[in-house]
Structure 1
Amino acid sequence: MLQDKRKDLDAEKRKLLLERLLREVGRDNPDLYYRSTSDIAQLIFNHVESAAMLHPEERALVKGLSPRDIAVLLSLH
C-alpha cells in the first residue's frame, strides 16, 4: 500500500515537472501550439538532456524516459 502511494506521488510530481518543462520549452518556441505531440516531446527530451536545471530528485523522475514516453505522458494530461 505504501508503494502504491509512492508511485502515485511520483506520477504527480512527474506530471508537474513535465508541465514546467513544457513552459520552459514554450518560451523559446512560440509556435509550440501548432507542433505535434511527438515534436514537443522531442524538444522536452532535448531540453532535459542539455540545458534543464533540474534537482537530482527531478532528474530521477525523468531518467529513462524516451521521447515516446514523454509524448504518451503529455497526451494523458
Structure 2
Amino acid sequence: MLEEKRKDLDSEKQKKILLRLVDALSQLDPDLYYRPTSDIALYLEKYIRSDAKLTSDERSLMERLSRRDLEVLLSLH
C-alpha cells in the first residue's frame, strides 16, 4: 500500500514537471503545440537528458520515463 502511494506521488510530480518543461519548450518554439505528440515526446526526451534545468531528484524522476511514457502523459493532458 505504501508503495502504491509513492508511485502515485511520483506520477503526480512527473506530470507537474512535464507541464513545466512543455511550457519552457513552448516559449522557445511557439509552434510546438501543433506538432505530433510523438515529436514533442522525442523533443522532451532530449531536453530532459541535456538542457533542462532540473534538480537531481526531478531529473531522476523524469529519466525513468520512456518516450512512450512521455507520449501517454502528454495525451492525458
Q: TM-score, normalised by structure 1?
A: 0.90
Are the counterparts in 1 of residues 37 and 74 from structure 2 also a CA contact under 8 Å? yes
Larger RCO (CA under 8 A, 6+ residues apart): 1
Are the counterparts in 1 of residues 49 and 63 from structure 2 also a CA contact under 8 Å? no
Give the aligned residue type for 2:43: L
Tell me what 2:45 maps to.
Answer: 45
Equivalent residue of 1:31, what SS? Answer: helix
Partner Cα separation in structure 2 for residue 49 and residue 63 of structure 1: 7
- 1:68 and 2:40 are equivalent in the alignment: no
Unaligned runs of 5+ in 2: none
Equivalent residue of 1:51, what SS? Answer: coil
Percent identity reads: 53
Shift of 1:62: 1.1
Partner Cα separation in structure 2 for residue 32 and residue 11 of structure 1: 23
Equivalent residue of 2:4, what SS? Answer: helix
What is the aligned residue count?
77
Residues 17-26 or 65-74, more deviating: 65-74
Partner Cα separation in structure 2 for residue 66 and residue 2 of structure 1: 24
Partner Cα separation in structure 1 for residue 33 and residue 58 of structure 2: 25
Cα root mean square deviation, aligned = 1.1
Give the aligned residue type for 1:75: S
What is the correspondence of 1:1-77 to structure 2 with a 5 Å cutoff? 1-77=1-77
Partner Cα separation in structure 1 for residue 70 and residue 55 of structure 2: 19
